[in-house]
Structure 1
């Protein structure tokens, strides 16, 4: 759930047998705090996950954890992998142990990707700088990253109209818009969905779409960790795209400046 969606629905499943995990970078997001307070009234166990250990949410939650790192997405994602991996392992699911083992490999893997990611992104940022609308395609385990990059990075940070499209829904709408003059970023998985991804890529390139493909630099990585490897590539793209568009990331016209 998003915070507001949770408050609108007030799920009946939230009771003394439920655990509610509440995630907020700032640790004080209004709707998340309200969701936490309502969940506690229903008897649920609450777990706060914020950037800093000392936060309103962590103080109110039964259990609070701050990932204590500058990287918002990477810190949050890594924390969630270890949290859910541990839960699944304790419940006896094999996927839990696999999540933890794959996550343990990332501190050595990701830094090695940075030099090539920077070099590639510098070129692609220039190629995309004149596009005011960019589609971002992804699916499966990478859908959350797809949605976040289109909304929070392209729209909020780069002031580009980012449109997230799930590969499985490409034929509903996006198919009609992928013509010459269109730009799209493709996030590749390591799953059975690659056959569908190949088909969409072939169609896009045949129609003259500007295609930017991210595929974890071709590394032999497990599909479970592609959100991390793809994010490493996308982070540098957003940086160089913002430079090419003369847009200073981290400065806004309205965000945190107007009441909303």
Structure 2
């Protein structure tokens, strides 16, 4: 279900000069992983990763037209913070229309009790972005995810 969207997002944003990623709680590690490890390290893209809690302490001033923003929404106690960020981003006050929300709650796992979703939500996001979206970025940029300029190239 996410596959066509991943391809569309990559076609639209893989060549962007700068992209913001917002996440929190159980998804914070995956937010950093995709932004820093996949896009910065493996794609040489400029990114900014920020928690939903910290977004309103300055970063909101950097949202403007032409800057893609991705909000990764989880299912834990930080969801209300994610919802607050989503409400701000989708109000239209910034003029930025490149707002992308990826909400793990939209991806059902048959047979999984709701009480365990918070535990598996990082895995859901990993499959969606670190696995699928990253591969489409690689295709669009024609930049192999294994290429490095410096990382593991010599002692430092």
Common fold, TM-score beyond 0.5?
Answer: yes
Any idea what SS the aligned residue of 1:240 has?
A: helix
2 CA distance for matches of 1:122 and 1:181? 19
Contact 2:65 2:98 in 1 (8 A): yes
TM-score by length of 1: 0.52
Q: How many residues align?
A: 145
Is residue 137–residue 146 contact of structure 1 (8 Å, CA) maintained in 2?
Answer: yes
Alignment pair present for 1:232 and 2:127: yes
Structure with larger Rg: 1
TM-score with structure 2 length normalisation?
Answer: 0.84
Higher RCO, Cα 8 Å, sep 6+:
2
Matched, 1:191 2:76: yes
How far apart are the structure 2 equivalents of 1:249 and 1:219? 26
The farther-off stretch of 192-201 and 178-187 is 192-201
Counterpart in the other structure of 1:223 = 118
Confirm whether residue 138 of structure 1 aligns to residue 23 of structure 2: yes
8 Å CA contact 2:72–2:102 kept in 1: the answer is yes
Matched residue of 2:138: which SS?
A: helix
Instruction: List per-residue Cα deviations over 1:131-169 (Å, max 9, x = no partner).
Output: 121111111111111112111011011111121100001
SS at match of 1:153: helix
In structure 2, how many angstroms separate the alpha carbons of the residues matched to 1:159 and 1:200? Answer: 27
Compare the two structures and name the one with the higher helix fraction: 1
Deviation, 1:209, is 4.4
Q: Is the 8 A contact 1:155 1:162 kept in 2?
A: yes
Unaligned runs of 5+ in 2: 109-113
Q: Secondary structure at the match of 1:169?
A: coil
Q: Which residue of 2 is the match for residue 175 of structure 1? A: 60
Per-residue displacement from partner, 1:211-256 (whole Å, max 9, x unpaired)? 2221126135511111000111002111101211121111122221
